[in-house]
Amino acid sequence: MGATIRVLAPAPNVLAFYDGRIPGVRLHSAEPNWLDDGAYEAGIASYAVIDGDAALVYDTHISLAHAAIIRRTLEERGVRTFTVVLSHWHDDHVAGNEIFADCEIIANSLTAQMLAEKREVLETGDPPIKPLVLPNRIFEGELALKVGTLPVLLRQVDIHSRDGTVVLLPGGLMLAGDTLEDPITYVDEPGRLSAHLNDLSRMAGWEISRILPNHGAEEVIANGGYGKELIYATMAYVEKLIQLTNDLKVISEDLQTFAHEAFATGVLTYYAPYEEVHRLNVAAVLRVKDARAGEL
């Protein structure tokens, strides 16, 4: 575990700890599980913002081994003070929390609530995250921090998951967590897509120059991340999902056909395993629509 991790330097003062997207390689099990199928296959990065002997770690990755590599790498670079920020409650972002149990672990109040509610689910999952270490500092809305001398702003958003937190850095760089994903978002809350779209529209109004998502193409992340077009591409895909009907032709379309407006932005990198993500997204949205129709 952790043997295939790659350490990238996408921006000044920022490291990305990227793993996955290696055909034929699985880390945990041949059986379906969240680590291999929900994270490693998609490719996943956790980030560190470093200034002097201080570092902010944005998500603790998919295992204790990965988190230990992050901490050791930063310590070898002279870091002595660690602050962890959790992007949201999902398992592939909090699995390494125990490695940073002696540090400040920051989350917004919804993330703290969701982790407490989902604790048993996460601790008995496959693989289990046990013990699940909970955040010890909570914020609402926004929180301004300093990493060394670097000003950092945490901002709460309702995208992908109602409890999202993004990190805004000097120069317009944003660490996006799962709010943005290349090539498409994974729909975890199909009944809340309109709320997610509203916050994507809000995000599009921010002064953002580059975007570093947790799930994306390694070469793009290594070369400084995505442009603001990633927001518009995500909005186009979410809008198409919201408009879904039971039209068999549309719901049977492959990813590139269905999301042609999103791909037309030129920012997305087609990755075949996301065909299954798209299929699951469509099925989840239709279930919600059918359930709501049945209530009328």
Is residue 274 in some structural domain? yes
Whole-number pLDDT of residue 294 = 67
pLDDT of residue 295: 65
| Position 1 in a domain | no
For the beta carbon of residue 83, count every other beta carbon within 10 angstroms: 20
Residue 56, domain member (yes or no): yes
H-type alpha helices, the chain: 34-35, 64-76, 91-94, 109-117, 119-123, 193-204, 218-222, 229-242, 248-251, 255-258, 260-263, 274-295
- How far apart are alpha carbons 44 and 213 in whole angstroms? 9
Per-residue pLDDT of the chain (296 residues; tens, 9 = 90+): 789 999 999 999 999 999 999 999 999 999 999 999 989 999 999 999 999 999 999 999 999 999 999 999 999 999 999 999 999 999 999 999 999 999 999 999 999 999 999 999 999 999 999 999 999 999 999 999 999 999 999 999 999 999 999 999 999 999 999 999 999 999 999 999 999 999 999 999 999 999 999 999 999 999 999 999 999 999 999 999 999 988 888 899 999 999 999 999 999 999 999 999 999 999 999 999 877 776 65
Whether 148 is covered by a domain: the verdict is yes
CATH of the domain at 113: 3.60.15.10
Domain span holding position 83? 6-295
Q: How many domains does the chain have?
A: 1
Query: What pLDDT does residue 289 have?
Result: 83
**Mean pLDDT, all residues of the chain:** 96
Task: Quick: pLDDT tens for 55-88.
Answer: 999 999 999 999 999 999 999 999 999 999 999 9
Sheet strand arrangement including 142-147: 142-147, 150-159, 161-169, 173-177, 210-213
Q: Is residue 267 part of a domain?
A: yes
